[in-house]
């Protein structure tokens, strides 16, 4: 994927999976690449159409939640590009969990009963529902691993004021309920997800992507209870299967560990999983789009002229 130079561009940032361009002082152009990361490491092979899947799901979900809180998105000029308002970000990720899965389960299975200052009930099995959704924030690291953090530490470290925390906590829980409702209509369970927020002046905005396979985990609702009773693995649509493959091949992003080889077949499998999740969540057929770098550039330029 090419690196662009736009009129009035003031900054460029290459993230794990996105290229972000600052335009003037108040606009961002976010290009979703086909790069894939796990355990905070960018894997060596790109996944075809992943950027388009993430960008289009995020745009759909931002539109479907804009009555809950303001969000950053202004335009989607190309299938893998979003343009929106530049916010001053809170340096935390709001991770909302409805089920005991992933990192929360790994913590729980070690015998720990507190996560980010939240007490976890006894007697839960992997993937069981929490009595009500919980928020387990993490710091947003510029490099390396994100770290768990509690509400009290966030306020003490002035990552957000008590008043700001109260607002983003409310928004995160409301967004999660909306995401669960949308998923339920498609035969899915939204298990956990993350949200990022920022400010413009005194207004708090929802930023970045929401309810995508990179930021969220989905289970199939059909047969969920039966699988839980039998202690069977849940059928899921998320990036977790990539993490599981890496773990099985002795890679968890730790020093000295080598990323296992990604064959063409495995790359194609991941791509199909992303497309499957798009079609399940959106309820529409996925239409692959292959724009040249020049076509993408021109679409962005035209959009910027109107904003």
**How would CATH label the architecture of 90-238?**
2-Layer Sandwich (3.30)
Q: Mean pLDDT for each consecutive 10-residue tract of the chain (307 residues)?
A: 92 94 96 92 94 96 97 97 97 98 95 96 97 95 76 97 98 98 96 97 96 91 97 87 91 91 95 92 93 94 95
3-state helix, strand, coil in the chain (%, to 5): 35, 25, 40
Question: What is the reported pLDDT for 289?
Answer: 94
- Provide the whole-model pTM: 0.91
Q: What residues are paired with 42 via a beta bridge?
A: 37
Are 94 and 134 a contacting pair, CB within 8 Å? no
Q: How far apart are CA 174 and CA 179, in angstroms?
A: 9
Question: What is the reported pLDDT for 23?
Answer: 97
Question: What is the reported pLDDT for 213?
Answer: 83
Question: What is the reported pLDDT for 221?
Answer: 96
Question: What is the reported pLDDT for 29?
Answer: 98
Q: What are the extents of the domains in the chain? A: 90-238
For 106-150, how does the pLDDT look when each residue is reduced to its tens digit (9 = 90+)? 999 999 999 999 999 999 999 999 999 999 999 976 555 679 999
Question: What is the reported pLDDT for 304?
Answer: 96
CA dihedral (264, 269, 271, 277) in degrees, to 10, reads 180
Question: What is the reported pLDDT for 144?
Answer: 56
């Amino acid at each position: 994927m090419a690196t662009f130079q736009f009129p009035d561009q003031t900054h460029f940032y290459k993230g794990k999976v996105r290229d972000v361009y600052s335009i003037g002082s108040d606009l961002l152009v976010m290009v979703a690449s086909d790069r894939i990361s796990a355990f905070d490491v960018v894997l060596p092979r790109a996944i075809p159409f992943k950027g388009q899947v993430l960008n289009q799901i995020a745009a759909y979900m931002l539109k479907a939640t804009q009555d809950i809180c303001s969000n950053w998105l202004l335009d989607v000029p190309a299938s893998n590009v979003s343009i929106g308002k530049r916010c001053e970000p809170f340096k935390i990720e709001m991770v909302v969990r409805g089920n005991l899965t992933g990192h929360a389960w790994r913590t729980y299975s070690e015998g720990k009963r507190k996560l980010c200052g939240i007490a976890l009930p006894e007697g839960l099995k992997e993937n069981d529902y929490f009595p009500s959704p919980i928020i387990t924030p993490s710091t947003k690291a510029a490099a390396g691993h994100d770290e768990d953090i509690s509400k009290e530490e966030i306020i003490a470290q002035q990552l957000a004021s008590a008043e700001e925390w109260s607002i983003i906590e409310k928004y995160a829980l409301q967004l999660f309920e909306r995401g669960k409702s949308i998923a339920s209509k498609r035969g899915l369970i939204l298990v956990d997800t993350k949200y990022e927020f920022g400010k413009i002046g005194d207004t708090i905005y929802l930023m970045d992507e929401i309810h995508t396979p990179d930021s969220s985990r989905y289970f199939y609702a059909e047969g969920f209870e039966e699988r839980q009773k039998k202690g069977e693995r849940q059928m899921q649509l998320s990036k977790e299967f990539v993490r599981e493959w890496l773990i099985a091949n002795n890679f968890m992003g730790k020093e000295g560990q080598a990323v296992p080889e990604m064959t063409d077949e495995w790359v194609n499998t991941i791509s199909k999983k992303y497309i499957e999740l798009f079609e399940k969540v959106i309820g529409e057929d996925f239409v692959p789009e292959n724009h040249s770098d020049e076509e993408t550039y021109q679409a962005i330029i035209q959009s910027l002229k109107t904003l």
